[in-house]
Amino acid sequence: MSTTALLKNSTAVVKSSADNLPATRSKREYADFDAFVENADRLLAFFKGVFKEDDRLASIKFEWLEYDDRRPLDLEKAKREIRSAKLDVEMASRALAQFPRARKRLAEFKRDEKWYNRKELYEIKGKGKRAQWTLSRRVVSEQIALLLASFQNARPGTPKVFGKMVVEEVYANNPNACVLESACRRVRREKDFPPSIAEVLKAINTDGSAWGERYDLDEYDADEIRRDWEQAIAEAESMIGKAQAKFAEREAKEKAAEEKRKAYREAYERIPHEERHAYERGQRSRDVRPMPAMPCNYSDREIRAYAAGLVGQPIPGLEMKINRAGMDA
């Protein structure tokens, strides 16, 4: 078992007379650990937001980009999709501006984590990747002693036995230094009476889960995440640019088609009512069997209109009306 130093408190200098221990480090204040945890949680929230937005950027797709001109396109829906995608990119760009600060805070977290979880707090068996790190019994004993002494009404029936069993249970649970520090602070701040062993272990398990996420920050590379983020934004902007170009093209064609339909309706309305009536009657008669006889009182123009409707051709004089309308405009 390796030599371990007493933990005067979780934030104090670790001292020992042993010559082979690391040099004394700068003292940390009690509140510094709270700031360390707060920084970790803020970083987690930031990067979770980044990863969520990254998924949103990756999901920006416009299926209608592959539509040919013959396939109908809901222009209003397409416009909403483009607007939503642009909003996602705008939000991502705002987050990008926060990366310099996040990078600095991540470096601070990694520095502080190395101190609060430093090697001399552990009993280490083995070497390299197979090394087993167990929080020193002396560290556990001091943390539990400080915890129980924090309650003025702490009067267990057999204090020596109770204190020893708390230490043994916590030592067997094998939390790391940060988890145990967080758990002891949680119990001190949330309990009005001395905790039972079960309550201490419950707090350790709760904070163990929280620290499982916090330790993921050790693997984060802010510069790499930022580069990936910038690429995701650039790809999303490129996709949006293509969608805007396609939308503008289809919108222009739809506008031209609507103008043509409007010109047709206006020209059709300028054709005499009798001819239109004959044309529409011919259209209705097209699929009737046996085919009804054409009314005998039609004029020559009405006969031609009826015949055009019967065979599915445009009503006579329509093109001239449209052309004339264009000249008049």
pLDDT, one tens digit per residue, over 268-327 is: 888 999 989 999 898 988 888 888 888 888 999 999 989 998 888 998 887 765 555 454
**Structural domain includes residue 154:** yes
Same-domain check for residues 52 and 129? no
**Structural domain includes residue 261:** no
Q: What is the number of H-type helices and E-type strands within the chain?
A: 11, 2
**Structural domain includes residue 265:** no
Same-domain check for residues 191 and 231? no
Same-domain check for residues 288 and 173? no
Same-domain check for residues 137 and 201? yes
- pLDDT of 3 reads 39
The count of other CB atoms within 10 Å of the CB of residue 53 is 20
- pLDDT of 329 reads 45
Biggest CA pair distance of the chain: 126
Same-domain check for residues 3 and 130? yes
CB-count exposure of residue 166 (10 Å: 0-12, 13-18, 19+) = buried
CB-count exposure of residue 19 (10 Å: 0-12, 13-18, 19+) = exposed
Q: How far is CA 120 from CA 2, 13, 125, 142, 298, in A?
A: 9, 11, 13, 15, 110
Return the CA Rg of the chain.
Answer: 40
Same-domain check for residues 237 and 213? no
**Structural domain includes residue 260:** no
- pLDDT of 261 reads 87
Please compute the mean of the pLDDT values over residues 95-108 and round it to a whole number. Answer: 94
Q: Cα angle at 140 between 135 and 142, to 5 degrees?
A: 140
**Structural domain includes residue 262:** no
**Structural domain includes residue 133:** yes
Q: Which domain holds residue 160?
A: 1-22+119-217
**Structural domain includes residue 169:** yes
Same-domain check for residues 63 and 105? yes
CA distance 239 to 85: 9
Please compute the mean of the pLDDT values over residues 101-114 and round it to a whole number. Answer: 96
Q: Is the pTM of this model over 0.75?
A: no
Same-domain check for residues 15 and 75? no
Q: Give me the number of domains the chain comprises.
A: 3
Chain centroid offset of residue 308 CA = 61
Same-domain check for residues 113 and 230? yes
- Final residue in a domain of this structure, among 195, 217, 239: 217
- Final residue in a domain of this structure, among 217, 242, 259: 217
Query: Residue 4: pLDDT above 70?
Result: no
- pLDDT of 324 reads 55
Same-domain check for residues 153 and 48? no
The tens digit of pLDDT for each residue in 247-265 reads: 999 999 999 988 988 888 8
DSSP state of 295: P
**Structural domain includes residue 259:** no
Would you say 283 and 308 are in contact if contact means Cβ atoms under 8 Å apart? no
Same-domain check for residues 322 and 301? yes
What is the pLDDT of the chain when averaged over all its residues?
86
CA distance 4 to 18: 9
Q: Calculate the CA dihedral of residues 13, 15, 21, 24 and round it to 10 degrees.
A: 40
Q: Which residues lie below 8 Å from residue 143, measured CB to CB, with a gap of 6+?
A: 7, 10, 170, 180, 181, 184
Same-domain check for residues 161 and 84? no
